[in-house]
A = this chain, B = another copy of it.
Amino acid sequence: MSKVELNKKQKRESLLDSAFDLFIKNGINKTSIADIAKNSGVAKGTFYLYFKDKYDIRNILIAHKASQLFASADAALQKEKITDVIEQIIFIANHIIDDLNKDKSLLLFVAKNLSWGIFKSSLINSKNYDDLDFYDIYNKLINQDQYKFIDPEIMIFMIIELISSTCYSSILYNEPVEIEKLKPYLFNSVRAIINEHVVA
């Protein structure tokens, strides 16, 4: 990679970092492109050399952060000796929830913005700009040979939507209950959802 290309990559990443910080601190609506550029130490016009607008950078960030959450959970999973795939999924879910619980700003950002569409594009593009093998993690779970799932994509979809929407309220506002009290019910529900999709 040439010096110029390296420089460009650094600028891009600096902008992404700045945007993330500001989105989390002030929210997207109250973050201006001028803020992002200033925070990143570049001129306002430079922003437009790398991103189309605020929502472009937001989508990239969401995908990126979601990938990181999964990758981190998967890395932790590898250190455990959990053989049952259903329990692996629960483990990953739990790990992600704990991560989000530790970093409520991240939760606020991801949950408010994550949609299935972005999640899937994140899956597909996970190899472009970072080395997270997000897609591999996903595939590994789906295509193992312990269970045979019917419509595994729908299953994953429902699990992710259930977890992300319930955690949002529970972690941020303790509504209707705090997260640790919610977890047992939540994981039972996840197990129930999985069971519906398992072929005997």
Residues of chain B within 8 A (CB-CB) of A175 are 116-117, 120, 157
Copies held by the complex: 4
- A192, CB-defined interface residue at 8 Å: yes
A116 pairs with B169, CB closer than 8 A? yes
* A189 close to B186 (CB less than 8 A): no
> Contact between B173 and A116 (Cβ–Cβ < 8 Å)?
yes
Within 8 A of B (CB), among A164-196: 164-166, 168-169, 173, 175-177, 182, 185-186, 188-189, 192-193, 195-196
Name the residue in A161, A175, A186, A197 with the highest tally of chain B Cβ atoms < 10 Å from its Cβ: A161
Residue of A165, A169, A193 with most chain B CB atoms under a 10 A cut-off: A165
Q: Taking CB as reference atom, which chain B residue is nearest A167?
A: B161
Using Cβ atoms and an 8 Å threshold, which residues of chain B touch A162?
158, 161-162, 165-166, 189
| Chain B residues whose CB sits within 8 angstroms of the CB of A182 once the complex forms | 154
Residues of B within 8 A of A151 (CB): 177, 185
CB distance from A47 to the nearest CB of B (A): 17
13 A-B pairs whose Cβ atoms sit less than 8 Å apart in the complex: A115-B168, A116-B173, A117-B169, A120-B176, A151-B185, A154-B185, A157-B166, A157-B169, A161-B161, A162-B162, A162-B166, A162-B189, A164-B165
- Residues of A at the B interface (CB closer than 8 Å) are 29, 115-117, 120, 151, 153-155, 157-158, 161-162, 164-166, 168-169, 173, 175-177, 182, 185-186, 188-189, 192-193, 195-197
- Nearest 8 CB-CB pairings of A with B: A192-B192, A161-B165, A116-B169, A165-B165, A162-B162, A153-B176, A157-B176, A161-B166
